[in-house]
């Protein structure tokens, strides 16, 4: 009986050693090294929404699908040339503000408003204190994009061929995914560029999200 138990115990040891040997032999270990993520390059695009001679008052709104700067220009260099009083009222997320000023002949002023993605601006403009209450008004949007050029090296220090799914994460959210196949002992040097909307500051990191064969 003892001999049989000993035989079973030895067999289990042999199976365990074989399993460990197999695991080591076919171990997949792909890691990211040499990560370089420089500061993003920001660019912008202008788009003209309004450009006309306004008379009296008018209302408008603008929904921002992405972070945007609204550039407003009020000018008294066209139409009836007298000093005019301008009141510009706008609201964002139920927070209202009023900007009031006077414009003598040939004078102009500018005003900028930053909107985040999903915000909506409601605006109301009125002109008064003149025989003819007209004002030249233009509205231009400026949208921003960030270009992130980064590099990294993948190293398969294991004993098995396989793949790694790599993610670039911005503030913890995936903004880019790539799948790379590497043989055992192989190294892969990679350079990528990703464009994101907006100009806000983010924390970027590269991670191995998945390994497989």
**Local mean pLDDT, 10-residue blocks, the chain (213 residues):** 48 42 62 95 94 91 92 86 92 91 94 92 93 92 95 95 96 96 96 92 94 91
Please give the structure tokens belonging to residue 152: 């990294």
Q: What is the pLDDT of residue 117?
A: 87
Three-state secondary-structure class, residue 177: strand
From residue 155, give the alpha-carbon distance in Å to each of 103, 149, 150, 205.
66, 20, 17, 17
**What are the structural domain ranges in the chain?**
28-41+146-212, 42-145
Q: What is the pLDDT of residue 94?
A: 82
CB 129 within 8 A of CB 158: no
Domain 28-41+146-212, CATH: 2.60.40.10
Question: What fold, for 42-145?
Answer: Jelly Rolls (2.60.120)
Q: What is the pLDDT of residue 1?
A: 53
The rounded radius of gyration (Å) of the Cα atoms in the chain is 32
Q: What are phi and psi of 61, to 5 degrees?
A: -145, 160
């Amino acid at each position: 009986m003892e001999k049989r138990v000993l035989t079973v115990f030895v067999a289990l040891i042999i199976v365990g050693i074989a399993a460990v040997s197999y695991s080591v032999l076919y171990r997949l270990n792909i890691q990211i090294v040499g990560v370089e993520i420089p500061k993003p390059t920001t660019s912008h695009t202008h788009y003209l929404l309004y450009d006309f001679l306004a008379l009296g008052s008018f209302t408008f709104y603008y929904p921002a699908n992405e972070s945007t700067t609204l550039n407003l220009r009020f000018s008294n260099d066209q139409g009836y040339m007298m000093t005019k009083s301008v009141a510009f009222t706008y609201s964002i997320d139920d927070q209202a503000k009023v900007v009031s000023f006077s414009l003598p002949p040939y004078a102009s002023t500018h005003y900028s408003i930053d909107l985040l993605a999903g915000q909506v601006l409601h605006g109301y403009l009125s002109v008064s204190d003149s025989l003819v209450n007209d004002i030249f008004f233009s509205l231009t949007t400026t949208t921003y994009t960030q270009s992130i050029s980064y590099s990294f090296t993948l190293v398969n220090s294991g004993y098995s061929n396989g793949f790694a799914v790599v993610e670039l994460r911005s503030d913890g959210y995936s903004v880019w995914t790539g799948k790379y196949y590497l043989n055992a002992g192989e190294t892969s040097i990679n350079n990528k560029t990703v464009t994101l909307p907006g100009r806000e500051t983010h924390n970027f990191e590269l991670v191995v999200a998945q390994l497989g064969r």
